[in-house]
């Protein structure tokens, strides 16, 4: 019999996820002695015993890993035998800077906890704050590391003897579960009216709330990462009232349904979508609606898709179990939208919610477990790849937050720690640490002061839980962004990176691609290097040489009225017509004239005299122009609405594609958007159906881009093409463009870990900053 001793150092998500008790159980099972503890470098294990048992132990670490644990590296070394060791023990945690363990994202309730709260004999029956080492809140209740109860918002709830016993027992599912609680010792739930008057407690509070929802009222419900505004999604009256109060005219609202059975009644759901809906991260998943008028027409009026989400906290499950009991007359579908006014961050504290949301909600369902950092629901969509060789569906993020943050994006190499501040809209920030990039949750639009406050909160929170000291900061080149001004205040070495170059860096970083790449940035707006607005660019980016140049752009078109043209896309359509020499309607009147001819003639004057009409090569603005030309939208009420409507209207049976030629202009190429627009205009004049025109436009854009990429690839010998920018959220472009590039012999790189829009800018900036520091500035 050979006795051996090994030591392991394991890094990754191995704290607060039941990792040490898991090791303890394995060691006991295999008759091994030794110890396990959390060290600065990761989880440290020493095991001693018979060689065969050690082999089995080694295999079981990998094959039986607890659901939330993620091993990044596992180093095993031989050790000298210890004498007189009788048992296996879990030793106390060490707390030191420079740790290599990460805080887990928040996780949906597990099946065992769900069974606890639904079993009448269980002491946690109907208890809203039930969790264990396999599930529950993490990131949003943690103040700093190491992840121990005193460092979380559970610090003010001393454990009762029964909970303490679970907490101390290595064989219990709740061993060292920091948020462990029960009705005897944990947080409480209560309902108030909008004045903050208490109405009911615990399960009575839930009953009261669902009664209000059933009557068509709106509830503000405190969740995991902030408040939700909730109402009956099948009631057009209730949903319209919520929209009016929230000042959210048409932007789609997500709904929560109790189970997959209900989900299937609302939408067509494929395997990949079901996987996300029922998994432990529980993002909102955009699925194809079965009936546009259901649950209520105004839930998502502009698109054929609807955002679905399944319950992820015990409270959600209890809410639905009570609500379903009332719903004999209707399907249990609830709108669940962030508790905020449009453009403000989601509400966090009880008092704050009562102040900010009192005009929005009739009843408040509150509790006393503090949320330490806001985190919205994540949103994903699945791209079905029908004709790609591997035929693997990919996930695309529209918003990355709860369930994902603060899990890192792994980079191709280690580097110095930097802080990247992102862009302005749909902002995120990013800290790097060695070969990991920690991209924050979705923050929102920084032009709003409240959001900027949230932005700064995230900076200090992330820095606390990551224990990093960045040596440099990176921001956008835009001179007026809040983040640009903020970067200057930090007193660190400062780098600025052009917006679309950052987009390309981001998609390269996500794919761990190093070297030279053709970057296709199809975007809304970004401050260009020539002081115009960019957004339809083909760049040559080398992330090793740290060089970039612009190879091609969409033809720059004046935006009459600047910002006003983004709100009123018809101005851009008229700008295209103006450039084409159509100064007034010929035959069919322009759709926007029915809203008054005066504004239109003012735009004509402005274009003639070139007053306040900044040039933009944005691809997003081209979508806006086409959408307005077809009369789909006059004034938008949310970002990208015109493009969303244009995408939704496509007649997918149509196969003809408009031409989208590239012109050579000096040492630059220009995509002739005017020519593309003329074809739209001519067909529109002839009365061709808008769905057909939209399809021809989409296909033309895709074919033109793929052909040009192929040409640039031939000229440069570079095969990889990074596709990034907000337009990549258009499912038609996101699915067909990479396929067209593959057919043309190229290798597309796309986003699958972060949103292709500005949510990934901070990652691109971060990679650039790391490399700049390494190159000596
Ligand atoms: Zn659990
Ligand atoms: Zn207790
Ligand atoms: Fe962008």
311-358 pLDDT, tens digit each: 999 999 999 999 999 998 899 999 999 998 777 888 888 998 999 999
Q: For position 239, what pLDDT does the model report?
A: 97
Q: What is the pLDDT of residue 391?
A: 63
pTM of the model: 0.93
pLDDT tens-place string over residues 417-461? 999 999 998 999 999 999 999 999 999 888 888 899 999 999 999
State the distance from the centre of ligand 3 to the C-alpha of 503, rounded, in angstroms: 7
- Interacting residues of 185 by C-beta distance below 8 A, sequence separation 6+: 157, 158, 159, 160, 163
Q: What's the confidence (pLDDT) of residue 14? A: 84
Distance 198 CA to ligand 3 centre (A): 46
Q: What gap in Å lies between CA 503 and CA 509, rounded to an integer?
A: 10
Q: Give 520's Cβ-side CA count (13 Å radius).
A: 31
Q: Which ligand has the shortest distance to the CA of 184?
A: 2
**How far apart, in Å, are the Cα atoms of 281 and each of 49, 137, 465, 598?**
38, 11, 20, 51
Percent of the chain whose predicted confidence (pLDDT) is above 70: 98
Q: What is the predicted pLDDT for the residue at 16?
A: 72
Nearest-angstrom CA–CA distance, 504 and 482: 22
pLDDT at 96 (0 to 100)? 46
pLDDT tens digits for 653-666? 999 999 999 999 98
Q: Is the pLDDT of residue 388 over 70?
A: no
Per-residue pLDDT at 200 exceeds 70: yes
pLDDT band at 97 (very low <50, low <70, confident <90, very high): very low
> Does the CA dihedral 460-463-469-471 come out positive or negative?
negative
Residue 62, CA atoms < 13 Å, CB-side half-sphere: 8
Confidence label for 385 from pLDDT (cuts 50, 70 and 90)? confident
Structure tokens at 157: 């709830």
Number of the ligand closest to the Cα of 162? 2
- Distance (Å) from CA 416 to ligand 3 centroid: 26
CA of 746 to the centre of ligand 2 (A): 59
Q: Which residues fall within 8 angstroms of residue 215, CB to CB, at 6 or more apart?
A: none
Q: What is the 3-state secondary structure (H, E, C) of 56-85?
A: HHHHHHHHCCCCCCEEEEEEEEECCCCCCC
- Ligand closest to 112 (CA) is 1
Average pLDDT over residues 614-637: 97
Residue 474 forms beta bridges with which residues? Answer: 420, 495
Highest mean pLDDT among 173-177, 295-299, 499-503: 499-503
How many angstroms does the Cα of residue 232 sit away from the middle of ligand 3? 35
Residue-level pLDDT at 294: 85
**Rounded distance from Cα 20 to ligand 2 centre (Å):** 22
Instruction: Report pLDDT digits (tens) over 759-775.
Output: 999 999 999 999 999 99
> Residue 667: helix, strand or coil by DSSP?
coil
Q: How high does pLDDT run on average in the chain? A: 94
Distance from residue 482's CA to the centre of ligand 1 (Å) = 41
CA of 731 to the centre of ligand 3 (A): 17
Q: Which ligand is nearest to the CA of 499?
A: 3
| DSSP secondary structure string for all residues of 122-175 | STTTT-TT--BTTBB--GGGB-SSS--GGGBTTTTSPPPHHHHHHHH-TTSTTT
| Residue 387 pLDDT exceeds 60 | no
Question: 166 CA distance to ligand 2 centroid (A)?
Answer: 9
- Per-residue model confidence (pLDDT) at position 348: 81
pLDDT at 145: 78
Ligand 1 centroid, distance to 134 Cα (angstroms): 5
| Ligand 1 center from residue 180 Cα (angstroms) | 10
Judge whether 419 and 429 are in contact, CB under 8 Å.
yes
Say what the pLDDT of residue 101 is. Answer: 64
Quick one: 717 exposed, middle or buried, by C-beta within 10 A (0-12, 13-18, 19+)?
exposed
Residue 123 pLDDT class (50, 70, 90 cuts): very high
Q: Which ligand is nearest to the CA of 478?
A: 3
CA of 107 to the centre of ligand 1 (A): 9
Cα of 480 from ligand 2 centre, angstroms: 52
pLDDT band at 15; cut points 50, 70, 90: confident
Mean pLDDT calculated for residue range 180-208: 96
Report the pLDDT value the prediction gives residue 389, as an integer from 0 to 100. 54
95 pLDDT higher than 60 = no
Rounded CA-CA distance 603/537 in Å is 27
Residue 41: its pLDDT value, please?
74
Q: How far is CA 122 from CA 119, 135, 182, 226, in A?
A: 5, 18, 11, 29
Single out the residue of 10, 12, 9, 8 nearest to residue 102, CA to CA.
12
Give 147 Cα–ligand 3 centroid separation in angstroms.
35
pLDDT tens, position by position, 273-294? 999 999 999 999 999 999 988 8
pLDDT tens for residues 179-193? 999 999 999 999 999
């Amino acid at each position: 019999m050979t006795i051996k001793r090994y030591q392991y150092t394991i890094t990754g998500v191995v704290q607060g996820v039941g990792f040490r008790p898991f090791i303890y159980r394995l060691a006991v099972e295999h008759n091994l002695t030794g110890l396990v503890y959390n060290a600065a470098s990761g989880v440290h294990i020493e095991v001693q015993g018979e060689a065969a048992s050690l082999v089995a132990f080694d295999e079981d670490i990998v094959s039986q890993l607890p659901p939330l644990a993620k091993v990044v590296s596992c180093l095993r070394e031989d050790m000298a035998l210890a004498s007189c060791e009788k048992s296996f023990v879990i030793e106390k945690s060490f707390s030191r800077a420079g740790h290599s363990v990460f805080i887990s994202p928040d996780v949906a309730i597990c099946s065992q906890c769900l069974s606890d709260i639904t079993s009448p004999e269980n002491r946690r029956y109907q208890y809203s704050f039930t969790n264990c080492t396999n599930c529950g809140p993490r990131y949003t209740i943690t103040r700093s590391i190491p992840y121990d109860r005193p460092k979380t918002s559970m610090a003010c709830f001393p454990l009762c003897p029964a909970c303490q016993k679970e907490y101390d027992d290595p064989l219990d599912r709740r061993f060292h579960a920091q948020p462990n609680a029960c009705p005897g010792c944990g947080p409480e739930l209560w309902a108030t009216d909008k004045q903050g008057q208490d109405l009911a407690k615990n399960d009575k509070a839930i009953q009261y709330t669902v009664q209000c929802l059933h009557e068509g009222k709106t509830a503000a419900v405190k969740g995991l990462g902030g408040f939700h505004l909730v109402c009956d999604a099948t009631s057009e009256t209730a949903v319209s009232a919520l929209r009016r109060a929230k000042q959210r005219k048409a932007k789609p609202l997500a709904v929560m349904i109790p189970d997959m059975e209900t989900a299937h009644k609302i939408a067509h759901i494929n395997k990949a979508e079901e996987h996300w809906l029922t998994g432990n991260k529980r993002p909102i998943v955009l699925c194809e609606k079965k009936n546009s008028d259901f649950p209520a027409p105004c839930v998502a009026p502009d698109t054929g898709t609807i955002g679905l989400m399944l319950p992820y906290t015990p409270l959600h499950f209890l809410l639905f179990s009570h609500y379903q009991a009332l719903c004999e007359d209707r399907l249990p579908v609830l709108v669940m939208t962030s508790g905020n006014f449009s453009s403000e961050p989601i509400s966090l504290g009880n008092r704050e919610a009562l102040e900010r949301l009192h005009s929005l909600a009739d009843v408040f369902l509150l509790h006393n477990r503090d949320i330490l950092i806001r985190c919205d629901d994540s949103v994903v969509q699945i791209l079905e790849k029908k004709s790609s060789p591997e035929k693997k569906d990919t996930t695309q993020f529209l918003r990355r937050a709860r369930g994902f943050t603060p899990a890192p994006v792994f980079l191709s190499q280690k580097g110095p720690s930097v802080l990247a501040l992102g862009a302005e809209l749909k902002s995120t920030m990013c800290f790097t640490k060695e070969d990991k990039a920690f991209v924050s949750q979705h923050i929102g639009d920084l032009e709003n002061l409240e959001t900027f406050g949230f932005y700064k909160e995230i900076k200090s929170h992330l820095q606390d839980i990551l224990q990093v000291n960045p040596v440099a900061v990176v921001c956008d080149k835009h001179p007026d962004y809040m983040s640009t001004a903020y970067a200057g205040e930090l007193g660190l070495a400062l780098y600025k990176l052009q917006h679309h170059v950052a987009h390309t860096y981001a998609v390269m970083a996500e794919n761990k691609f190093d070297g030279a790449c053709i970057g296709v940035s199809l975007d809304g707006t970004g401050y260009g290097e020539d002081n115009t607005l960019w957004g339809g660019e083909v760049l040559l980016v080398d992330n090793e040489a740290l060089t970039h140049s612009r190879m091609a752009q969409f033809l720059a078109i004046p935006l009459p009225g600047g910002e006003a043209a983004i709100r009123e896309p018809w101005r851009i359509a008229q700008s295209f017509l103006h450039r084409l020499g159509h100064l007034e309607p010929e035959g069919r009147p322009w759709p926007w004239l029915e809203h008054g001819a005066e504004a239109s003639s003012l735009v004509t004057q402005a274009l003639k005299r070139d007053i306040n009409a900044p040039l933009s090569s944005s691809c997003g603005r081209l979508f806006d122009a086409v959408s307005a030309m077809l009369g789909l939208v006059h004034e938008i009420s949310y970002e990208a609405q015109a493009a969303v409507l244009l995408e939704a209207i496509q007649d997918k049976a149509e196969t003809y594609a408009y031409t989208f030629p590239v012109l050579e202009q000096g040492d630059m190429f220009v995509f002739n958007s005017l020519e593309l627009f003329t074809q739209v205009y001519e067909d529109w004049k002839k009365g061709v159906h808008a769905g057909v025109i939209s399809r021809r436009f989409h296909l033309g854009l895709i074919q033109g881009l793929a052909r040009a990429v192929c040409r640039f690839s031939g000229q440069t010998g570079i095969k990889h093409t990074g596709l990034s920018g907000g337009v990549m959220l258009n499912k038609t472009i996101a699915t067909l463009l990479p396929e067209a590039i593959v057919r043309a012999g190229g290798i597309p790189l796309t986003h699958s870990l972060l949103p292709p829009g500005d949510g990934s800018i901070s990652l691109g900036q971060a990679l650039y900053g790391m490399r700049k520091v390494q190159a000596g500035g």
